[in-house]
Amino acid sequence: MEDIWQSAMDHAVAVARKAGQVVREAAGVVRADAVMVKSSPIDLVTQTDQQVEKLIIGALKSQFPTHCFIGEESVSAGDDCSLTCAPTWIIDPIDGTTNFVHTFPFVAVSIGFAVDKQVEFGVVYSCLRDEMFTARRGKGAFCDGRPLRVSPRKDIRQAVVATEFGSNRDAAALDKIFASLRRVVDIPVHGVRGAGSAAINMCLVASGCVEAYYEIGIHVWDVAAGSLIVSEAGGVLMDVQGGPLDLMSRRVLATNNRNIAERLVREIDAFSVRRDDDHASS
């Protein structure tokens, strides 16, 4: 069958590279007073996030004017966030905005593309490190053209687990986040890490550098591209309570194998957050 989305993916890679160059040039020169906040004082956004999202969506729309778009900053500005069966681009112009503001070197441009609610390809450009992660459904995952494979470790006690605190400082949520963390540390695992970018955490799972990544509170644009990179590298995706990953649920568990996923499901004190596609007014 003809690979109808390959040229779209090639275009996405070129756009991500261009966007990443803008992010790279802006990193380190963000003035403190140019940093704005969104849902909470630690949910940061800069003009670069907004400018780069416009650049990406403009470049993709010029080639694919009939497609749908979900972009973090467009949704923040009031655009709809529904994943339908239509071809849909899912974009985070800067995943790791806090890292970007502080020049902590894990900052990604993330572009996923879904059809029938299934991710067809994912592009994560780790722009400060100049690493291009890509995956095409059924065709493997790559970093700069090198095939990626998840870690072969089977024993959770030899695992490194990535997770994040996110930007939710609600006391009940924090209690659960810390309770889960305590249980994971106490297994004991080899270590707990966090890159500060959901997309890059997922690429670390795909690269075999960490065995697992979980988080509650991420958004569809943080994980759409990365989810395919994990599965195409041989990894497993789940909801944090088990069962299939739901991209709009704002919860993710990505691991190198099913045993480690199922063990983490037992340790994670799960909670629900408002879904990305919940349109009820707040």
Interacting residue ranges for Ca ion, rule: CB under 5 A: 72, 92, 94
Q: Which two tokens stand for residue 199?
A: 């997309």
| C-beta closer to ligand IPD: residue 197 or 257 | 197
How many amino acids of this chain bind ligand IPD (CB under 6 A)? 16
Residue 222 a catalytic site member: yes
Can you say how many angstroms the Cα of residue 90 is from the centroid of all Cα atoms in its chain?
10
96 binds, among ligand IPD, Ca ion, none (CB under 5 to 8 A by kind): ligand IPD
Q: Does residue 95 carry a catalytic annotation?
A: yes
Angle at 246 between CA 196 and CA 72, to 5 degrees: 50
Q: Which residue is nearest to ligand IPD (CB)?
A: 164
Q: Pick the catalytic residue from 94, 156, 177, 218.
A: 94
Query: What does DSSP say about strands 141-143 and 131-136: parallel, antiparallel, or unpaired?
Result: antiparallel
**Closest CB to ligand IPD among residues 120, 222:** 222
Asked whether 239 and 245 are in contact (CB, 8 A), the reply is yes
Is 73 one of the binding residues for ligand IPD (CB under 6 A)? no
| Nearer Cβ to Ca ion (120/222) | 222
Catalytic, out of 49, 53, 73, 92: 92
Give CA–CA dist 112/201, Å, rounded. 16
Q: Which stretch binds ligand IPD (CB under 6 A): 52-60, 116-124, 192-200, 266-274?
A: 192-200
Verify whether residue 111 is a known catalytic residue: no
Q: Is the peptide bond before 65 cis (omega within 30 degrees of 0)?
A: no
Strand order in the sheet with 160-163: 191-193, 160-163, 212-216, 251-255, 236-238
The C-alpha atoms of residue 53 and residue 186 are separated, in whole angstroms, by 41
Interface with ligand IPD, residue 20, by CB under 6 A: no
Distance between first and last Cα of the chain: 46
The binder of ligand IPD chosen from 164, 211, 239, 267 (CB under 6 A) = 164
> What residues make contact with ligand IPD under the rule CB under 6 A?
72, 92, 95-97, 164, 166-167, 196-198, 215, 217-219, 222
